Amino acid sequence: MKTLYTTIVILFIAFSFSAKKISFQETVHTLVATYVGATENHDYKFIDDNNQEYLFYNLARRVIFEKEDDSKINKSFILTWKNKLVDEYDSKGQKTGAKITVKTILSIKTKK
């Protein structure tokens, strides 16, 4: 009986942690911001109306947006995005074994 109780408690704790991780990654955000260009690290940099900076690590596969296209600079866009965990790399391009949280653009439309 004691092992059954212990097993149930361990499973409950494991499910609790996994549910929190899934909800963190699956939250989709919407943002209206102005594109100001790519950063030195090749992130997509946007600034909203409150001068809050947003750096986006990458795009979803179906999204087409050239970060080096100067015609997009200083134009407003409506973005949907979410946080995502990715592998961290050192300066030599080797995985460090750690994960970092980044922002990924899911969709982007020109604000009219």
Q: pLDDT tens-digit profile of 9-67?
A: 565 666 665 555 555 557 899 999 999 999 998 899 999 999 999 999 999 999 999 88
The predicted model scores a pTM of: 0.70
Residue 94 belongs to a domain: yes
Residue 85 belongs to a domain: yes
Residue 12 belongs to a domain: no
Q: What is the pLDDT of residue 36?
A: 95
Residue 56 belongs to a domain: yes
Number of structural domains in the chain:
1
> Which domain range does residue 92 map to?
27-110
Structure tokens at 101: 């949280």
> What string of DSSP letters covers 34-69?
EEEEE-TT--EEEE-TT--EEEE-EE-TT----TT-
Q: Domain with 67 in it: what CATH number?
A: 2.40.50.500
Residue 49 belongs to a domain: yes
Residue 59 belongs to a domain: yes
Residue 69 belongs to a domain: yes
